[in-house]
Amino acid sequence: MHDDLKLFTELAEKLIALETNHPVANPIDSQALYTTLDLTLNETPILDDELKHSLIKIIEHTPKTASKFFFNQLFGGRQGKATLGDLLSVMLNNSMYTYKVAGPQVGIEKTILKTICKMIGYSSASDGTFAPGGSMSNYMAMLMARDKYDPESNRKGITKPLIAYTSETSHYSISKNASFIGLGREHVRYIKANSKGEMDTEALEQQIKTDLDKGLLPFFVNATAGTTVMGAFDNVESISKITKQYDLWLHLDGAYCGSVIFSNKYKHLVKGIEHTDSFSLNAHKMLGTPLSCSILVVQDKSHLYRSFSNDADYLYQTDEDDFNPGKTSLQCGRRNDALKFWTLWKSIGTQGLEALVDKQFQLAAQARAYIKQHPDYTLYSFEHSISVCFNYKDIAAETLCTELYKHSKLMVGYGSFGGHTFVRMVTINSVLDSQDIINFFETIETFYKNRHTKNT
């Protein structure tokens, strides 16, 4: 293992250098991948030196998500202390089902969950778990709601005419999960959004009434803190009044921007969160931990036990339920996703997490200001969003994103809302500073300045 650790350090240093010197890897056309790189798996072993060279070539061609030119997805950058924690998880290799096998790692996970529950004003009956991604956090929430409002469903299958609600701008996992839990996609109502992408609360109530009139059983509302394209925040407080009135489960999908709970300046964006039944956030998004670190907390932990516990005597052989987190998880064997977040949080404190969040809003504000003052850009984003959506000149967003990527200039994606398609640049990498934002725009301008001279 010593030699492998040494090789790891060498390759990691190589990667870090590449992130600066070649921040956007030359993309290989998918058709040419297998002829460009030797990815074959063969009968016989290879020499360590061959393996090393093979890994170096792969690293060279792998997209650099921690570079200053990566704005393509809802994650990016690297928090050193979080990475340290995750590297240790790989070495320790505990499975998070039992206290016997995971020991203090269970306490680490529980401390994160309990601290978040307390921060958002959940009751003492609250608890949570780590899910394999934000989609799966939403899945677990919808499943717990199903089992609460149709208690026979886990034994008999769904027996009641359940209806779920989410906004038309919410994440695609809501519809996928409705299929997964046996509800069926047709039993989800997509509530229209306002001009900023926030759920229209009145339309929600109207739809609930309509469904009740039809004899259907509304049971679950998904609100979003940070919609996928616009980064909009649904009004949790207004929605929670409706879910209380009609006795529905309220889940807040904060995969993208739920980490605003760590910021005194921005936590007002999820005002009313203490009234939700469940809440999820991805620390691998705003907080920059390695993938994945998805947290789900629940106001009343009995729902976790009801939906996810199972008797398995061969597994749970010591300690009480509360310290055997396999009883409340989706999976059985489960990777340790907690240590990376704990290491980061312990190291920089809640103050440090707050600074990461605030920085992202500050960078987004700077980007919006840049766009507004520049006549060649059109802005589609609003205040309080770290998704900065824009178009440049009359270049189609898809064209711009693809060309900049194919020419290794930068990585950014596009999205659509309100009848417009635009570039979506996300200021989620807290390691960046003002100059990096200016560089982003100047990269676009320089690229199209040269190209336009040639092509038009």
Shortest Cβ 238–a second copy spacing (Å): 26
Tokens linked to 181 = 């839990």
**By C-beta, is 43 or 456 nearer to a second copy?**
43
How far apart (Å, rounded) are the C-alpha atoms in residues 60 and 22? 9
Shortest Cβ 163–a second copy spacing (Å): 11
Phi, psi of 201 (to 5 degrees): -65, -35
**By C-beta, is 42 or 456 nearer to a second copy?**
42
**By C-beta, is 107 or 376 nearer to a second copy?**
107
Q: Helices 80-92 and 338-372 sit at what angle, rounded to 10 degrees? A: 150
Helix (H, G, I), strand (E, B) or coil at 20: helix
Shortest Cβ 19–a second copy spacing (Å): 9
**By C-beta, is 90 or 212 nearer to a second copy?**
90
Shortest Cβ 87–a second copy spacing (Å): 5
Q: Which of 293, 336, 301, 315 is nearest to 98 (CA)?
A: 315
Q: Which of 440, 454, 439 is nearest to 400 (CA)?
A: 440
Shortest Cβ 76–a second copy spacing (Å): 9
**By C-beta, is 185 or 268 nearer to a second copy?**
185
Shortest Cβ 217–a second copy spacing (Å): 13
Shortest Cβ 140–a second copy spacing (Å): 10
Helix (H, G, I), strand (E, B) or coil at 261: helix
For residues 349 and 115, is the Cβ–Cβ distance under 8 A?
no
How far apart (Å, rounded) are the C-alpha atoms in residues 214 and 45? 66
Pairing of β 278-282 and β 294-298: antiparallel
Tokens linked to 200 = 């229209």
How far apart (Å, rounded) are the C-alpha atoms in residues 315 and 318? 9
Shortest Cβ 237–a second copy spacing (Å): 26
How far apart (Å, rounded) are the C-alpha atoms in residues 437 and 363? 7
Alpha helices in 151-235 (DSSP H): 153-156, 173-180, 201-213
Of the CA atoms within 13 Å of residue 16, those in its CB half-sphere come to 10
**By C-beta, is 111 or 238 nearer to a second copy?**
111
Taken in order 97, 101, 105, 111, the sign of the CA dihedral is: positive
**By C-beta, is 345 or 441 nearer to a second copy?**
345
Shortest Cβ 194–a second copy spacing (Å): 19
**By C-beta, is 238 or 309 nearer to a second copy?**
309
**By C-beta, is 93 or 455 nearer to a second copy?**
93
Tokens linked to 344 = 């980061």
CA distance readout (Å), 373 to 35, 392, 426, 444: 47, 13, 19, 16
Beta-bridge mates of residue 233: 225
